[in-house]
Structure 1
Amino acid sequence: MNARPRLNPGLSFADRRDGWVGDIALTGLLLALAAVFPYLIGFRYLVSPIELQFLVSVLLIAPLALRSHYPQVMLLLSGLAGVAHLFVANGPLPALVVVPVVVYSVAREVDAVSSRSAVLIGLIGAVVGPMHWYLANNWEINFLVVVMLVCTGMVLTPYVIGRRLQESAKAKDAAERLEHERVQTMLAERDQRARMAEISARQQIARELHDIVAHSLSVMVVQAEGGRALAAKKPEKATEVLETIAGTGREALVEMRRIVGVLRNTPDEESTYAPMPGLGDIGEMVHRTGDRVTLRTTGHQPACGPATQLTVYRIVQEALTNFLKHAGARARGEVELDFGADRITIEVTDDGLGSAAQSDGMGNGLKGMRERVSAMGGTLEAGPRPEGGFRVCAVVPLAATGSHRWAGGVAYARERPKGHQ
């Protein structure tokens, strides 16, 4: 028989201590009621001395102190004491009240297979004990049957109760583990969503900064090259070129500060809100690129949301950036905006190098434009023209539904107060 301790390694020292205290208290109570009290009142059978019957009663009850920690050791010791009971008494001693407690404790603390040993030992005792008493006292056969049934019930009933309670405890523990795993899964999913949102925000800011820096630097480079040639022929015009370069740089700084300020500001910092570029700013942007680009509009400017306006603005900005970088020094371009009833069509064309233009292959401009237009539910076509040059054509619907994810960011971004760099 396995006599290993049944201690739960997850229990704290205080839990184990409380278990010992409860077991010892129960053992002391049963010793007082079923062993000491019968001894004091002189309860005994004439077959053996009262002291010997008292000792057997103590040996039956004392192992209960091990019920929560070593239940199988308890069963072994109580079983041996039960065998001794057959030799010292020709009738049931009061200490036999310990039998239901022993069987229940084994059924409650031990696994199903091992706990059947308690049933086996108990049923053997439920037959052998009454038969011994029947032969020693000349009972009637009917009385023998009743005693056997009572003894059998004292074994089977506590065993069934103990097994049921153990199964209920296991089911509760399994449910708690499943709930813990579910909560951990939910937390992991929430963290994953937070990480994805952070990645999306970083990509959005990188896209905005790319559009701002690439366009502004391209304009400044073109203006500087033109100003160098113009300074030799018309020195008075050089001032206008320098003012354009300075204005473009200041505007780029303002836009970058507007975007990066969202990350740098804390909730308790004083901040202001400035509108992001929209349809009304496209004309000024085209004008800064110089006289090589013209703007033509068709229809009336619609009353559309800031997301749509920013998307149109960034598409024109990126297309002009590519024109300034790749079309060539003598190329000319045209920006055409067609304001329809339900859509805005943007077409930017040039007569530059087209497919012959040199590129480092590291740009993200066209990819960013496609992402913006796709997020608004529109379409974009870009590529060299058969007759030469390059063409970008985008269609942005005015009734973009909420099912489209807007990659352009918030329409109004926080800007740090003046004086902050």
Structure 2
Amino acid sequence: MFGSVQAWSRRHEKVAAVLRVAPLGALCLLTTVLYAGSGAPDGGVHPGVIWYVGVSAALVVPLVWRERPRLSFAVIALVSFVQWLADVGPVPANVAVLIALWGVAYRCAFRWALAALLVTEVGVLLLLIDRLVPTFGMFSTGSILVVTIWLTGLYARTRRHYLEGLEERAERAERERDQQARMAAAAERARIARELHDVVAHNVSVMVVQADGAGYALDHDPEQARQAVTTISRTGRAALAEMRRLVGVLRENENADPDYTPQPGLDQLEKMVRESAVPARFRVGGTPTDLPEGQQLAVYRIVQEALTNALKHGGPGVRADVEIDFTGPDVLVRVSDDGRGAAAPRSADGHGLIGMRERVGMYGGDVSAGPLRGGGFEVLARLPMAEAT
């Protein structure tokens, strides 16, 4: 189909070239008829008609070669020079020189356009020498006409290149837009994958720790084992519910009903801390502000990940303090525990701190995590409220 469109475009260009020549050809034909009708003194055909028709045809026909402007101008200039040598007077078809000059300026490089301008100026000078006594004013008048037509051709060429550049930039912008859309989709999938990792890592860690505790307490403290099993059941259901929500976003089935459950935020933070497997004290300093949902989710996940780390590495009987401070220009999130701290074994495949830094980095904040003096571990995150807003 694209080839047929190109073929149609080429045919259209040829037809347009013929139509551009048609007015000049019609003028030459009309002048030829009038010239021949005047007749010779003896009533026959005027003797200059043959020269007139031949020169006019030789000047007009090359204008059809629109795609080869240099050849067209060269032929017309050569015919005009032969016409001057044969002492044949100017005819209306000599306007073809100016049309061909415009074509060279429009379609060829500047050096060819300049060469065509100089050749045309020489032709103006030869015409004045042959027919009149040349003066500077007469030569200037002819040159102004020639240079004006030449400049219009250069302007049209510059305009054409500008429009072609705009079309190219528009196509490139469209390709970049499609690429950005694909990149955004990939980034969104990566974000959801990180969310899925956080959910699974937190809940599975809680379930593993509680299962281990239930196994140890099964013979010595059945009530504590029963509570641990209850916590495992509740955590498993919460993990399944949130995994269904995240996996539902990744589905490509358009007929599936999307889940519009909102992301957890500050409203759910106290409940999460209270239901955590790590006994924790929750405090809020200052007046909570309306943070964007993304920043609320970041605070929620930081606290969740910090409590998970306390549960995994803090040791038995670990307790935690969760503090959210709104008194300053930044939101401060501090989660500390009284566990083993520096003595706790480090996991080689942990991604919790990396995830925290990525979340906080999106809002221009920073996060630090490390053991405390005398034991325990602390996670401190700062999120600028002004930038977030």
Q: Above 0.5 in TM-score? A: yes
Aligned pair count reads: 364
Amino acid in structure 1 at the alignment position of 2:118: R
Q: In the alignment, which residue of structure 2 is the partner of 1:135? A: none
Task: Output the aligned Cα RMSD.
Answer: 3.8
Does structure 1 conserve the Cα–Cα contact (< 8 Å) formed by 2:73 and 2:97?
no
Q: In the alignment, which residue of structure 1 is the partner of 2:367? A: 380
Q: In the alignment, which residue of structure 1 is the partner of 2:345? A: 357
Q: In the alignment, which residue of structure 1 is the partner of 2:120? A: 118
Amino acid in structure 2 at the alignment position of 1:60: V
Taking a change above 3 Å as real, the CA distance of residues 20 and 223 of structure 1, as seen in their structure-2 partners, is: same
Give the alignment's TM-score, normalised by structure 2.
0.77
Q: In the alignment, which residue of structure 2 is the partner of 1:32? A: 30
Distance 1:153 1:50 in 2: 39
Shift of the alpha carbon at 1:250?
A: 1.2
Does structure 1 conserve the Cα–Cα contact (< 8 Å) formed by 2:249 and 2:258?
no
Shift of the alpha carbon at 1:318?
A: 0.4
SS at match of 2:347: coil
Amino acid in structure 1 at the alignment position of 2:279: V
2:49 to 41, 54, 61: 54
Does structure 2 conserve the Cα–Cα contact (< 8 Å) formed by 1:334 and 1:350?
yes
Give the alignment's TM-score, normalised by structure 1.
0.72
Amino acid in structure 2 at the alignment position of 1:23: V
Distance 1:356 1:15 in 2: 81
Shift of the alpha carbon at 1:166?
A: 0.8
Distance 2:80 2:361 in 1: 80
Amino acid in structure 1 at the alignment position of 2:388: H
- Per-residue CA distance 1:146-167 (angstroms, 9 max, x = gap): 9x89996895465234213212
Matched, 1:335 2:325: no
Taking a change above 3 Å as real, the CA distance of residues 98 and 393 of structure 1, as seen in their structure-2 partners, is: closer
Distance 2:28 2:261 in 1: 84
Matched, 1:106 2:100: yes
Distance 1:126 1:118 in 2: 13
Does structure 2 conserve the Cα–Cα contact (< 8 Å) formed by 1:103 and 1:155?
no
- Per-residue CA distance 1:222-275 (angstroms, 9 max, x = gap): 111122223334556654433321221110121223334344388876455334
Give aligned-pair identity as a percent: 32
Q: In the alignment, which residue of structure 1 is the partner of 2:61? A: 65
Does structure 1 conserve the Cα–Cα contact (< 8 Å) formed by 2:21 and 2:63?
yes
- Per-residue CA distance 1:83-113 (angstroms, 9 max, x = gap): 3345xxxxx5xx63333x1331232122221
Does structure 2 conserve the Cα–Cα contact (< 8 Å) formed by 1:286 and 1:294?
yes
Name stretches of at least 5 consecutive residues in structure 1 with no aligned partner: 1-8, 87-91, 131-143, 406-421
Distance 1:53 1:85 in 2: 12
Does structure 1 conserve the Cα–Cα contact (< 8 Å) formed by 2:203 and 2:236?
yes
Does structure 1 conserve the Cα–Cα contact (< 8 Å) formed by 2:39 and 2:46?
no
Matched, 1:315 2:315: no
Taking a change above 3 Å as real, the CA distance of residues 380 and 164 of structure 1, as seen in their structure-2 partners, is: closer
- Aligned ranges for residues 214-293 of structure 1 at < 5 Å? 214-234=201-221, 238-264=225-251, 270-271=257-258, 273-279=260-266, 281-282=268-269, 284-286=271-273, 288-290=275-277, 293=279
Name stretches of at least 5 consecutive residues in structure 2 with no aligned partner: 1-6, 66-71, 105-112
Q: In the alignment, which residue of structure 2 is the partner of 1:180? A: 167
Taking a change above 3 Å as real, the CA distance of residues 298 and 79 of structure 1, as seen in their structure-2 partners, is: closer
Amino acid in structure 2 at the alignment position of 1:273: Y
Q: In the alignment, which residue of structure 2 is the partner of 1:164? A: 151
Distance 2:346 2:153 in 1: 78
Does structure 1 conserve the Cα–Cα contact (< 8 Å) formed by 2:27 and 2:92?
no
SS at match of 1:274: coil
- Per-residue CA distance 1:380-407 (angstroms, 9 max, x = gap): 331122323422233556xx12x238xx
Q: In the alignment, which residue of structure 1 is the partner of 2:283? A: 297
Does structure 1 conserve the Cα–Cα contact (< 8 Å) formed by 2:310 and 2:320?
no
Amino acid in structure 2 at the alignment position of 1:66: P
- Per-residue CA distance 1:198-227 (angstroms, 9 max, x = gap): 454334323322221111000010111122
Taking a change above 3 Å as real, the CA distance of residues 43 and 75 of structure 1, as seen in their structure-2 partners, is: farther
SS at match of 2:283: strand
Does structure 1 conserve the Cα–Cα contact (< 8 Å) formed by 2:200 and 2:239?
yes
Q: In the alignment, which residue of structure 1 is the partner of 2:4? A: none
Distance 1:358 1:365 in 2: 12
Does structure 1 conserve the Cα–Cα contact (< 8 Å) formed by 2:319 and 2:339?
yes
Distance 1:345 1:21 in 2: 78
Larger mean Cα displacement after TM superposition, 58-67 or 333-342: 333-342
Taking a change above 3 Å as real, the CA distance of residues 231 and 18 of structure 1, as seen in their structure-2 partners, is: same
Shift of the alpha carbon at 1:369?
A: 1.8
Does structure 2 conserve the Cα–Cα contact (< 8 Å) formed by 1:106 and 1:118?
no
Matched, 1:201 2:184: no
Taking a change above 3 Å as real, the CA distance of residues 154 and 376 of structure 1, as seen in their structure-2 partners, is: closer
Distance 1:238 1:116 in 2: 103
Does structure 2 conserve the Cα–Cα contact (< 8 Å) formed by 1:350 and 1:389?
yes
Shift of the alpha carbon at 1:56?
A: 1.2
Distance 1:293 1:229 in 2: 19
Amino acid in structure 2 at the alignment position of 1:97: P
Distance 2:283 2:152 in 1: 82
Ranked by relative contact order (alpha carbons within 8 Å, sequence separation 6 or more), the top structure is: 1
Does structure 2 conserve the Cα–Cα contact (< 8 Å) formed by 1:337 and 1:345?
yes
Distance 1:67 1:258 in 2: 71
Amino acid in structure 1 at the alignment position of 2:338: D
